[in-house]
Structure 1
Amino acid sequence: MYNPEQEKVWPVHTPPFDFFTVKGVVESLLSSLSIKADFCETNDDSLRPGYRAEVILNGSKIGVIGEVHPRVSATFDISEKVYMFELNVSALMPYALQSSEYNAIARFPSVIRDIALVLDSGVTHKQVVDIIGKFSLVNEITLFDVYSGKQVEAGKKSLAYRLIFQSAKHTLTDVEVDKVLQQILKKLEGALGATLRA
C-alpha cells in the first residue's frame, strides 16, 4: 500500500496510509467472514518496530501486517513509507465456505468514547484489549494511535483507543457509559499500571 499512487488516480487530497489503515483493511476483510482475530506484537525484522503485528486466530498465526522496515524499502530504492499485510488464505477458507448468519440490526444507539493510555513499553495491545473486552457493554475496541517519544516518559508509550458502548436492551445514558469507563480505567490501572494521558 503506497499512497502517492492513489493521488495520481483521484484528483483529491487523501490522507496518507498508515499502520492503522492496513489494520482496518484486514479487520474489514476478516469481519466479512465473521472472523474475530487478535493482533499481537511480532519480532519480524523486515517490518518497522512499533508498527508491526501478527494476526492470530484461535491461538495460531494466520498473517502479519505492518510498515516495511526502511532498510528493506531502501534495497528497492523506495524512500516513501510502505505498508503491507499477508494472510494465510488456506486458514481462512473454512470460514469463507460457511454459510453466513443473519445479524439483527441493533435497536439502540451506540456511544463512543476515546481514551489515550500511558503504559510501560512492554505492555501489549492484546493485554489491554483482553481487559476491556470483558466489560459486557463494550461492543467494539479500536486502536487508532501508538506514540512513544518526548511527550511520554522514557520506557513508556501511549496507546489510544476508540471504545463503542452499546446495549441490546436499552439506550445507554452518559452516566451509565461513564460509570463503566471508570471501571475499565480502574481495572487497567490495577492490572497494567495504565494512566490516562493528559
Structure 2
Amino acid sequence: MTTCDQSHEEAINEYAGNWKRFDCFIWDRMEELTDADNWAIIYTHHRDSRLLDLSNAAVIERELTPYSEADDADVVFESHNHWAVGHIDGFSIRVIRHGQITDAFKTYLDLQERKDTYPILDEEDYSAREMEATMENLTDAVWRLKDEYDLPEGWEDEVFCWLSDNNPSAIENRDDQGGYLDENELREAFDNLHFVATT
C-alpha cells in the first residue's frame, strides 16, 4: 500500500511500468534499475514531428531537466530507434519512489494538464519556431526564381515584412510546418519591392 495522493492514483496506474505493455520493445535501462516497475517511458517527438510537438517537447525537457541532474535522477532523457520514424525521443521518469509519487512525475502531470487546457505550452517558443520554419521555407521556395532576379542581401527579411503587411495569408502556418509561398506570391513581393529582374 502506497502513501500516494488519491488524486494521482489513476495516473500512477496508467504510467508506472507502462513500458512493459509496448510491443516489440526492449529497454536497455531495465537491467540497471532495481525499481523498473516504478518507471514510465514517455515519448514527446520523433524525426518527422511538426512544430507544435517540437515546441512542447522542448518545454517539457526544460521543466524536467532539474530532475535529471542528481546521481540517482528521477528523469533520464532517451532516444530510441524506431523502424517507422527513424528515432523517437522522450524520457523515462520515476513515477513512485519509496511509496510516494515523485516531484518529477507531478511536474509532468501538471504539464499534461496545461496541455489539455491549451495545446501550446509556450507561445513564445512556438511562435519563434513558426517564424524560423517560414524563413527556411522562404529560402527553399526561391530556388526556381533566384536566377530571374538580382536579390539584395537580406532579401528574406524584406520579403517577409512586405508579405506580412500586404499578403499575410502567404506566410500563415500551414500544416504546422510554417508558412510556405508559391512562385506567384514571391514574384509579387519581388516586383513590389523593386528587385531587379535579370531576365
Q: TM-score, normalised by structure 1?
A: 0.25
* Structure with more of its chain in helix, by fraction: 2
Higher strand residue share: 1
TM-score, length-normalised on structure 2?
A: 0.25
